[in-house]
Chain A
Amino acid sequence: MHLWLQVLVNGILQGGILGISALAFSLQWGVMNLINLAHGSFQVLAAYLAVLILQHLGLDPLLAVPLIFLVFFAWGYLVQFFLINRVITSNLFMTLLLTFGMDFVLANLMILFFTADFKSINTPYANSSWQWFGLQFPIVRTLALLFLIVLSVLLWLFLEYSRPGRAIRATSMGMEPARLMGLKIPHVYALTFALSSGLAAIGGVFFGLSNAFSPASGGPLTVGAFVVTILGGAGTSWGPLAGGLILGVLDAVGSVVFGPTYVNVITFGLLLIILVLRPNGVLGRAG
């Protein structure tokens, strides 16, 4: 009994790590129809930034989250405004190509600046856990889930009630009508990408706290975000949370029942089922 409860907890907490990574990916996909293949590298870069801040300023990564968010917000705005906006209205293939190229450049620049060595963000609490009712709650993973819930609420409030949030939603419903209503689409897109880059960076900090990473770690992160986004539905505030929890729990339980070898079979099997039965994700808008 205890084993299964703990496995369930492990799955839910892993869902937090997966979901927080997918928050940005889902937003970009849902609003701009942009599948950002450089997503994982953005996150790894944020993890490196957290290491640098910890080493040089002595600032704890979780306290540095607002700063890291702002840096990536600004950078994301520029990248979208000057680069991705150029191709975003042409076919999907062009944006895939561009973000693939960005991923390549980013990964290699990181090798250049940080070497290919593995790093991890080391804080006293990174490997500690809270104990409740005889169950282990690793601090970083628990915080990731809490962050994910709070960020999902904030994102929902922002999209639902703020002016720029409404602009983003309007644009995602139809670019042409939104433009005719007087919205400056390039700025709305840049704002969306800026916001999602900031969110990606927060996910990256949690990834760096819970795993060892190198410049090549971006690929698996992008794939993970992709799966969670399809499960939860692109462009919804709650999709990443739902997708992350579903995937986390299924992987955890599945890896104990069938063995960890079959985790990928479970993940991608589920992906196929969802794509056939609910192509817009469990929380996705009706297509």
Chain B
Amino acid sequence: MHKSKRLAKALVAVSVTLTLVLSGCGSSNTASKDSGSSAGTITIGAPVAATGSLANEGKLVHDGYTLWQNVVNKQGGLLVDGKRYKVNINFQDDQSVATNSASLTEKMYTQDNIRLFLSPYASGNIFSATTVAEKHKVPMISGGGGAKSIFTRDYKYVFSAYPYSGAYLGSVLDLLKTQGVKTLAFLHADDVFSKEADQGGEEYAKSHGFDIVYSAQYPSNASDLTSQLTQIAQKAPDALIGTGHFQEAVLLVKEAKQMNVNFKSIAFTVGPTMPSFAKTLGKDAEGILGASLWTPDLPYKDDVFGTSKDYAALYKQTFGVDPDYHSAMASAAAELMGLAIQKAGSQDPQKVRDALAGLGTVHLFDGDFTIESNGSISGLKLPVIQIQDGKAVTVWPGSFSQSFKDFPLPAWNKR
């Protein structure tokens, strides 16, 4: 009995230690310690999820920010007022909880004396973290989401590399229009991003002559949508547009097949762009469209990363996997921060904020866009991808459309 008691104590101790170690893992400091000949270090705070339900995308954003930091430091650092400064991104794990994003931003401001910030992942978390940045009058750039509600609060210190969520579906609908699609069914999750993306998509569809025959909102993390698919099947729309999260996109494809509900085309805002989508669904993923924000095929370039293809190659070399748009958008947000610091010639938060507001139209590796007066961006041309032979292929805009195929999609039982 005594022996087992002691063993139990040891087990408890191990589990407690593990808990502590793992929660400690959240805050990591990935900057290179080598300061070389630089005049100093500019520290940027980033409360990005490493654990919790957003850990997956949080990692992509983390890697996007990190890649920029690595590249800038390799190039000698940022040139600020004639001197070179290394950059150091201070990551803290918000555990996917929006209130943590805010409290960590507060902590980094008050305890760590950080004055420049890159955003967490997910619009809800950004919404919460930016309230703290605004309160302390320090700039925060969103590299993890673009809900309109973030930018309608008259904030002066919040900027973004993301287009509005409501703009995501425009390119998909343009593409479907060229294929003669008339009727659409919309299904979306109930979070801020999905609602806005769906609303924007439905408005765009109506104004472009589509007929919306079904539209419904389901709770996030839904584990069964068969009854919605049964309803949709009765209306027999040409295309299904799903706006939600990765697991719900996978669920919809699985259940559409199980219920034998066929569409001429299926498109999702989140899901197909991630490599695990095709891996998870196998041949059932073939031909499905994804609204993307960036692909390596896009014909843009800048001084830090080079072309989109260079970016993709560097990313793969660094992290061992192909980049997803989440990482590219995060890198672009970090790049904006770098541009603003160099333009301001200072790391003073007020000067950096003014420089950001005055950047106007920028040309980055992910595209050309304009910083609007409310901190959001406009003008970014969004690509559409299609799963072909297990890979995401760019099929929109314009010249890419010749690679579009599988229309209408083959019936599930013919795959």
Contacts and interface: CB of A to CB of B under 8 A. Distances in A.
Interface of A: 3, 6-7, 10-11, 13-14, 17, 81-83, 85-86, 101-102, 104-105, 107-109, 111-112, 116-120, 122, 126-129, 131, 136, 138-141, 207, 210-217, 219-220, 224, 248, 251-253, 255-256, 259-261, 263-264
* Interface core residue of A3, A108, A129, A213 (most chain B CB under 10 Å): A108
Contact of A17 (B18, B219, B223): B223
Given A82-B4, A138-B259, A213 B227 contact: no
B226 A138 contact: yes
A211 B255 CA distance: 9
Contacts of A128: 257-258
B52 interface: yes
A174 B297 CA distance: 68
Chain A facing B: main interface SS: helix
A268 to B, nearest CB: 11
A211 B4 CA distance: 39
B250 A111 contact: no
B8 interface: yes
Interface stretch (B77-85, B198-206, B279-287, B384-392): B279-287
Given A256-B231, A261-B217, A14 B259 contact: no
A260 to B, nearest CB: 4
B258 A108 contact: no
Given A13-B226, A82-B4, 10 more contacts: A10-B224, A17-B224, A101-B16, A102-B15, A109-B22, A116-B55, A120-B280, A127-B253, A210-B223, A255-B218
Interface of B: 4-5, 7-8, 11-12, 15-16, 18-19, 22, 51-53, 55-56, 58-59, 96, 190, 216-219, 221-228, 230-231, 234, 246-247, 250-251, 253-255, 257-260, 276, 280-282, 284, 412
Contact of A263 (B58, B219, B230, B250): B219
Chain B facing A: main interface SS: helix
A168 B331 CA distance: 58
Nearest to A14: B224
A111 B218 contact: no
Contact of B8 (A86, A127, A210): A86
B246 A118 contact: yes
Contact of A101 (B19, B56, B58, B282): B19
A225 B332 CA distance: 43
A147 B50 CA distance: 37
B15 A252 contact: no
Contact of B234 (A3, A13, A85, A107): A3
Contacts of B190: 261
B239 to A, nearest CB: 19
Given A86-B8, A118-B246, A118-B280, A211 B251 contact: yes
B218 A129 contact: no
B230 A120 contact: no
A216 B55 contact: yes
B216 to A, nearest CB: 5
Contacts of B5: 86
A211 B245 CA distance: 13
A6 B228 CA distance: 11
A212 B226 contact: no
B254 A260 contact: no
B59 A116 contact: yes
A260 B222 contact: yes
- 3 closest A-B pairs by beta carbon, nearest first, are A138-B258, A212-B250, A116-B55
Nearest to A10: B226
A212 B219 contact: no
Contacts of A264: 219
B218 A260 contact: yes
